[in-house]
Amino acid sequence: MRNKLILAAVAISAALTSTYALERDALACGGCFSPPPSPTENPTIVTDHRMILTIAKDQSTLYDQIKYQGSPSSFAWVLPISGTVTVGLSADIVFRTLDGITTTSIVAPPRNCPAAPTCNNRNSSFGASSDSAAGSADAGVASPGVTVTKQEVVGPYETVQLKATDANALQQWLAANGFNVPPDVKPVVDKYVAEKFDFLALKLIPGKLVQDMRPVRVTTTGASAVLPLRMVAAGTGATVGVSLWVLGEGRYETQNFPGFYIPTPDIAWDWNQNKSNYAELRAAKTTASAGRGWETESSTILYPQQVESAVTNSGYYGGGYPYPGPPTGADAGPELDPQEQAAQINYDPVVDAQGTVVKTAVQVRAEDLKALFYGIPTASSRVTRMRADLAHASLDADLVMTASADQTVLSNVRQLTAEINEPQCPVYSTDGCTQVGTEPRSDATARSNGNAGESFSCSTGAGGDASPVWIGAGLGYLAMAIARSRRRRNA
């Protein structure tokens, strides 16, 4: 099956305390559990995570989007949590918007080609070129030692929050309720139980399909800046990529994993390949860190209005009408307000067991955007974008984030000055009026310097800039010839 992008829920812990070194709460990203494939199926492997973490003093929210290979129809999620969390629906558009705003843009250096020679009537015209690369309810079977603290249906998902006092009992509950825990992840789950974590379990409602899946937003009280990567190991292969956006009042960085930043002067543009070596530099640093390194790509000011406007207006096109428009004919239902119709392109309304709408898509969207920027003053709102390509072996520890001592803004636009090889520059004919090809910049410069001091005129026929010169000279010659003829006759 082709790669697809879906979203898994995640959970966030209570606030960190001053006793963090001895005991800590944590925010947990979920592990994806699926049954062993049949002989005719390919195993489902998670290849990438994209996470958004909002950190405020009294509330934190995390979203986790995963990219997988295989069939996720039997996917389920088991998420370590601390206390009871609030689960809500989000939308892919939130990830697309943040990705678009913060994508690293590599801008090539100026070509610095020699100036074109002066020609009185240049017939050729050359367009400017730009060099740049811009480098997704049933309480279950009861089991002794496991307590269901909360259960609810959220969109297409059944969600159950659990408290376990016995690791074996939890393993039995998970197995009895269709959560296949891989053998190498069982010790991780046992460890979370020993650390007194609770768990959030999610899976699709029977009858729901992959296309029904929606992003899930999970919120908890208190500030949290810890991602227990141990659970991310579930469902991943030898490596897993993680992109992380941290929204808060300042710039964040890793505390217990190696981190790096690639300074712009270190990035060079290869004119022969028409691309930079940015990807190669990142890969080399990742290898040097044994697959544990986190790159800080950028840390920029982010105004809530930027995201809110993009998310709110994504369902509209020119003229303010929602796209793709209301259904017609037999499929047409009750006429929707245009704003609700546009919101439903990205968000689902919440309905009760009888199918009655209890929360409109507009309301769901408003709650999502409120949670995204909750507790972050607009004047100091920042987004730090990070990236890691983690080896499976590195998912043995939780990622601890901390406020960076350096709060300098790191732009996502990289204007390069370093070069590899030379750009091709235009070269001209000996009359200076016609481009005859291109050469490397140094050769084009030498050729241009060799013509320095020469003056070229282009004969273009009647009407050209040079014509009056020739016409004037001819009239003068004719006048002198007539005067000489008259003098001879008079003599």
Give tens-digit pLDDT for 167-182. Answer: 888 888 888 887 777 7
Report the distance separating Cα 262 and Cα 296, nearest Å: 8
Give tens-digit pLDDT for 401-425. Answer: 999 999 999 999 999 999 999 999 9
104 Rama class: left (phi>0) / alpha (psi -120 to 50) / beta: beta
Report the distance separating Cα 396 and Cα 390, nearest Å: 11
CA nearest to 386, candidates 147, 49, 119, 75: 49
CB 211 within 8 A of CB 5: no
In the prediction, which pLDDT does 112 show? 93
In the prediction, which pLDDT does 258 show? 96
The pLDDT confidence band at residue 80, using thresholds 50, 70 and 90, is confident
323 Rama class: left (phi>0) / alpha (psi -120 to 50) / beta: beta
Residue ranges of the domains in the chain? Answer: 4-114+133-302+381-419, 424-490
Quickly count: other Cβ atoms within 10 Å of residue 124's Cβ.
11
Q: Is the pLDDT of residue 264 over 50?
A: yes
Report the distance separating Cα 385 and Cα 479, nearest Å: 81
200: burial class by Cβ within 10 Å (0-12, 13-18, 19+)? buried
Quickly count: other Cβ atoms within 10 Å of residue 167's Cβ.
17
Q: Is the pLDDT of residue 282 over 80?
A: yes
What residues contact residue 226 under an 8 Å CB cut-off, 6+ apart? 13, 16, 24, 25, 26, 27, 398, 399, 400, 401
* Percentage with pLDDT > 70 across the chain: 70
CA nearest to 398, candidates 149, 202, 231, 168: 231
In the prediction, which pLDDT does 268 show? 97
Give the residue ranges of DSSP H helices in 1-148: 92-102
Report the distance separating Cα 339 and Cα 337, nearest Å: 5
Report the distance separating Cα 87 and Cα 367, nearest Å: 12
In the prediction, which pLDDT does 389 show? 94
Average pLDDT, the chain: 76
0.95 exceeded by pTM: no
Strand-pair category, 198-204 with 76-81: antiparallel
Average pLDDT over residues 363-380: 93
Higher confidence at residue 85 or residue 46?
A: 85
In the prediction, which pLDDT does 45 show? 61
Give tens-digit pLDDT for 222-254. Answer: 887 777 788 777 767 788 888 999 999 999 999
Q: Is the pLDDT of residue 49 over 50?
A: yes
Higher confidence at residue 15 or residue 181?
A: 181
In the prediction, which pLDDT does 222 show? 83
Q: What is the CA radius of gyration of the chain?
A: 33
Instruction: Say which range, 100-109, 290-299, 330-339, has the weakest mean pLDDT.
Output: 330-339
Report the distance separating Cα 53 and Cα 161, nearest Å: 21
Higher confidence at residue 78 or residue 395?
A: 395
What SS3 state is found at 154?
Answer: strand
CA nearest to 88, candidates 18, 153, 38: 153
In the prediction, which pLDDT does 473 show? 33
Report the distance separating Cα 220 and Cα 197, nearest Å: 14
What residues contact residue 55 under an 8 Å CB cut-off, 6+ apart? 223, 224, 225, 246, 247, 248, 252, 401
Instruction: Say which range, 67-71, 169-173, 376-380, 391-395, has the weakest mean pLDDT.
Output: 67-71
Report the distance separating Cα 10 and Cα 271, nearest Å: 43
What residues contact residue 16 under an 8 Å CB cut-off, 6+ apart? 24, 25, 222, 223, 224, 225, 226
